[in-house]
Each structure stands twice: as structure tokens, then as C-alpha cells.
Chain A
Amino acid sequence: MNGMTQIGVRFLTRKQFIEKMGWTIASLGLAQFVSACAGARKEGQIGGRLDFYSWEGYDCLSATEQWRKEHGVDLKSAYIASSEDTPAKVLSPAGKGIDLITYAYAYYQAWSELGLFTEFTVDEVPNIKRMFKFFQEGEYWRTKKGTYIGVPLTWLNYVCNYRADLVEAPKNWSDLLDPKFKGKIAIVEDPAANILVASAALGIQTDTMTRQQLEEVKKFLLGLKANAKTIAPSYGDLSNLLISGEVVATFVGWGALDTWAAAQGVNVKSVLPQDGIVFMVDAYAIPPTCDNRPTALAWVNLMLSDEVQLYVVNELLTATVCPDVVKLIKDDNIRAMYDYEHLEELLRQYPLRMFPPPQAKGDRVGFADWMKMWEEVKAG
């Protein structure tokens, strides 16, 4: 090298090259600064980047498009493959800047202990008042102080989907243990749901489950597995199995499978087996990694609007948390998927079931024991 750097057809000395590079970098920096100033938000103002980390679909993209445009909100969505992805990411250095997460109610104690939630008030999210009373008052979302750590977005029941043209509706989950279902049912790879429902069917309290009770649940699941043709890796796959006729009933299932099957002309119905009615409620939360709190709060409030709740009902095929929205559901089949009329009554009769703590304490099993038992069921 002789101190000359060739750029295109012109020759620059090294000094000239460094000077020009310096000006270029300074100009780029200035441009960014000006752009940042133009887009800067005042304290408490809604807008800017909002990082969402949860299930695909829960960001309600089409239902929030107008709102995002109006408020200049740049939503960055990243999706999870399982609920457990959330603490793994939020608690890692990569979780910095995540503004919104969701959680299933049954995780609220464990995730509270992990410090995944921040509190907010009903004044900050006024649409909380639009929800069914149960969702406004449940300990899974509201603290004893009256503040909130989460806001329910939607709920569902774990149903038994069955081929109505091939079998009669099972009345209880234990009906699926009958030899007539040998090789004709499918279990879904959703261990937490499976254990919650199996425990409900056996009348076992889930959060205080003992080792002996866990063995009873395992025996029940092994009985079901003996009749199972396969363990489907997802609810979508469960739907394929029902539609193709490989199986005639599911443990557990989801109301949306009926709609998907109907679209293909297959008669799949769902039933709530009376020995184990289990609810699942998913809620929005704002983690401590949030760096755009005003917009995150406005977003959570937006999730309880008519438009977004109708999107949840019609597109996600799960249930609304707002009674006023039920009246707005036009499709009778979709409204019939969930028993809104008796919701509060059902919730009183079948209280939400909690997961055990992460690790065992004395004779009481932990969530890790649940997972190990599920692995034993699969290996058995």
C-alpha cells in the first residue's frame, strides 16, 4: 500500500479518505438524530415501538390496524411456541424491551414469583369494567390491593371433540377408557391441559396434589393412552385426525375443531364431559422489561374493545370476556361454541384449577413432577 486508496476512478489520499468517512458517519448520525427528534414522544404519550411476545393471533393485527395508524404505533410481534417460552425469553437478556406478554391464569402464582408482571390500575385500563364480573375480580388478574397484574383477553373450555356421524357424544371423560374406543381416540400434546382435565375427572385438587394423587392421574392417562391411536403434536393435527377419520374422539379438544371440520363437510361436534369441566383463560400483562408503558396500557385497554373482542370470537374462535360483545356475535354457530348464558354459574360450579408450584414441597408434587409424569406416560 502506498497511502492511496482507490475508490471508483478517483484517487484519494488516506487522509482525504478518513476525512470523508468522518463526514459521512457524522451526516448519518445527524440524520438519525433529526429523525428521532421528529418521532420523539412526550412523556405519557401513546405511540412508537411496541414489542409483543405471545401467541400468534393474540396481537389481533387486522382488528388493531386502524388504531395503530392513528396513534403511530409500530407493533413488533414475536411469537411463542409454548407458554413456557415467555419466562425463558423475558428473564433472559434478550427479553429487554418486551412490552406485552400473555399468560394462562394457572401460571399467575409461578410467574408472579418469577417477577414477570407489573401492576396497573383500573383508571389506566378503564375497559376492565366492560368484562364479566368474574374476570374483573379474579385473583388471577387482580391483586388484593385492587390493582391488576393482567387483563383477560379470552377464555375457552377444554371439550371432547367427537365424530358425531360415527359415535355418540361421550358423557364423561372416563367413557373414553371403554374398550370400544380402542385405537380410536387421540390425545393432544398439551400436558398441562391433559393433567388439569384428568385431575378434574378424578376429583383431585391440582395445586395441592400429592404423590399418590399424581399416580392416580398417571394411571388414568395411561388408560387413555392404551386406547389412543396417537398423541397429536398440536390441536391442528388433532383436527386433521378427526377429519380423516383416523380417530373418532379427542382428549382434550377445542371448540374450533368443529368449525374447521364443518368447513370440510365433516360432522365433528364438541361436548363438555360432566366429570371434568375445565376453563382456560388467557390474559394480557405488562412485564418489567416494558419500555413504552403508556402505549402498552392503551393497547391492553384496546384489547377489550368491541372490535378486538369480535376479532377474538370470529378469528381465534375463542370466547369473549365482555358480555356486551356476546350480543354482537352474528354467527349462531360461533356464539353456540361457548355457554355465555351460564358462564358465571359454571365458573362458580367448576372453579379455575391452579398449577402446582414449580418444585415439589414435602408430599405435594410440583409442576416438574407433572412434566416428568407426562414423559413417563408417553414412554410407557
Chain B
Amino acid sequence: MLSTPLALLVGLLLLLPVCTFFAYSFLTPRAFHVSLPLTIRNYQIAFTEPVYWQLLINSVRIGLSTAGISTILGYILAYYISTQEGHLRTAILGLVVISILGGYLVRIYAWRIILGAEGVLNSLLMALRLIDHPLGFLLFSRAAVVVALVNIFVPFTALTIFAALENIGRDLVEAARDLGASPMRTFQTIILPLTGRAVFTSFLFVFLLAAADYITPQLIGGARGAMIGVVIYDQFIRLGNWSLGAALSFQIVLVFGIVLFTVWLLLKALGLLKAG
């Protein structure tokens, strides 16, 4: 009985808009509204126009790079924290949480100041006489986007994986050691599989957020930073073509779903998703 209001809330806030958009994607577009007859033309356009695939692939590439690096760095950080004790452990955890509180845009602009032509990094390299003129490729590139997004998402992945590491019983690790397993073997056969789901969850969240982000690439991604989110915005707002915008949204859902399912299969094949 208690779950009924929750189900209604989810239905209203999630399913209703999704179902409405799904219906829109099969309707005929008019300027800023939709009408009958039903059509699959919107999906034909979404799936056959090369420009949408180009932007979608760009989004997936940025999403995969960001999610992969954030998960690995987050794991290293979480593992380090879990091996510490006392005040140091609390201090590092506190710093990780504080870093989440910084504004999203503030951090993007901070990276512009760090990586810019007259930025901190270039100035430092020039002061050390390692370079004679600023390195232009540091900013306005896909690498800059990935660096900034990784900086934003590592605290989230670290905290998720840290929670999973904390749930591993010490007795399991000690038993492995007693049976003669090396630290590396213990990590590979005990710790990693038991944190596999947290790793996948972290990857999933970061991938979805990074691949769907379109502000960071616009601010520091350079002339080739366009992503699929901008096109969907344009269809809904600039052109009033709600049907194509909706079809493109479901194209993203499908493609992102396939990518994440592939990652899940890969982790499973590697034996990292065995235990709950």
C-alpha cells in the first residue's frame, strides 16, 4: 500500500513524459505542435541522416572516455581511502565531498583558466622555459572536455565504489591471504568481483551524464565539440519540430542502451559481475 503513492509519482514524473514523447515521435510535425497522421518518417530521418550519427558518435566517444577514466581514477581513489584509517581517511573523504559542492560551470571556467593560452599551465611551462610559446592544443579540444568532465565525475565514482569496498568483509580478504593469495590475486579474485556492480553503476551514470552533456563541449570543446544534445535542443526550440526531436531522443536511448549493454556483457565476461 505504501508503494502506491510512489508508483503514482514515478508514473507522473517519468512515464507520462516519456510516453508523451514516444507518441510525439510517431506524429506528423507542424510548427511547434504535432498532428495526425501517424508516421515513421521521423525515425527514418533520425537513423539515416549522417549528421545525426556523426554527432551521436562524438557524444558516445566523449561519454566512453570520460566514464572509463573517471571509473578507473575513482576506483584508485576509493581503494586508497578504504586502506587508510583515522583522521587521514576522514580528511580525504571530506575533501572528496567538498569537491562535489563546487559549481559545475565554475569548474568548467576554472579549466579554461588553467588550460588557456595565457592560463596557469602555459604560464608555468613558459616560466620554466620548457616552451617558448603557449601550447594551443591544451584547450578547445576533445581532450580538454574529457579532462574537465573527469574532474567533475571522479568524486561521484569514488564515493560509489568506496561504499562497495566498505561492504567487503575483512574476513574474506584475510582468508584469501591465509590461503596464500598474493595482494594482486586477492584484488583480482575477491575485491574486484565484489565491487563489479559498483564499477558498472559508476560507469553507467558517468557515461549517461557525459554523453548527454552539451554545455562543456561548447565551452571548451573547440570547433569540433558539437554533440547530439544540441541538435535535440534545436529541433524542439529553434525549429519547433517536436516529432523529430522526440525521435532523436529515442535514438539516443537506444544507442546508449546498446553501448551500456555491451559494457555490461564485457564486465560479465571478465567475471566482474558474479557476486551481488
Contact = CB atoms under 8 A, between A and B. Distances in A.
Interface centre among A84, A85, A231, A245 (most CB of B within 10 A): A231
A225 B51 CA distance: 16
Contact of A375 (B31, B55, B215): B55
Interface string B227-239: 0001100101111
Contacts of A379: 51, 54-55, 58, 226
A378 B225 CA distance: 8
Given A87-B32, A88-B32, A375-B55, A368 B239 contact: yes
Contact of B223 (A114, A229, A244, A358): A229
A91 B223 CA distance: 34
B118 A114 contact: no
A358 B237 CA distance: 13
Contacts of A237: 219
B155 interface: no
B203 interface: no
A54 to B, nearest CB: 15
Nearest to A233: B218
B222 A230 contact: yes
A267 to B, nearest CB: 15
Interface string A338-380: 0000000000000000000010000000011001100110111
B222 to A, nearest CB: 5
A233 B240 contact: no
Interface in A229-260: 229-231, 233, 237, 244-246
A231 B223 contact: yes
Contacts of A282: none
Nearest to A234: B218
Interface in A61-87: 81-82, 84-85, 87
Nearest to A92: B32
Contacts of A378: 55, 223, 226, 230
B251 to A, nearest CB: 14
B33 interface: yes
A230 B225 contact: yes
A97 interface: no
A191 B218 CA distance: 14
A189 interface: yes
Contacts of A229: 136, 140, 222-223
B92 to A, nearest CB: 34
A113 to B, nearest CB: 8
B25 interface: no
Contacts of A376: 51
Contacts of A92: 32
A101 interface: no
B243 interface: no
A233 B215 CA distance: 8
B221 interface: yes
Interface residues of B, number: 32
A197 interface: no
B71 to A, nearest CB: 28
B116 interface: yes
Contacts of B136: 183, 229
Given A230-B221, A233-B218, A114 B231 contact: no
A319 interface: no
B140 A88 contact: no
A189 B219 CA distance: 11
Contact of B118 (A84, A244, A380): A244
A245 B218 CA distance: 18
Contacts of A358: 31, 239-240
B139 A246 contact: yes
B223 A245 contact: no
Given A231-B223, A244-B118, A246-B139, A372 B238 contact: no
B120 to A, nearest CB: 13
A378 B54 CA distance: 10
A91 B33 contact: yes
A88 B223 contact: no
B117 interface: yes
A228 interface: yes
Nearest to A240: B112
A224 to B, nearest CB: 9
Interface in B24-61: 31-33, 49, 51, 54-55, 58
A226 to B, nearest CB: 8
7 contacts: A84-B238, A88-B240, A91-B33, A229-B222, A231-B225, A358-B31, A375-B234
Interface of A: 81-82, 84-85, 87-88, 91-92, 114, 183, 187, 189, 191, 225, 228-231, 233, 237, 244-246, 358, 367-368, 371-372, 375-376, 378-380
* Nearest 5 A/B pairs, CB to CB: A378-B226, A379-B54, A233-B218, A228-B223, A84-B238
Given A87-B31, A229-B223, A378-B226, 7 more contacts: A82-B238, A84-B238, A91-B33, A92-B32, A228-B223, A244-B117, A368-B239
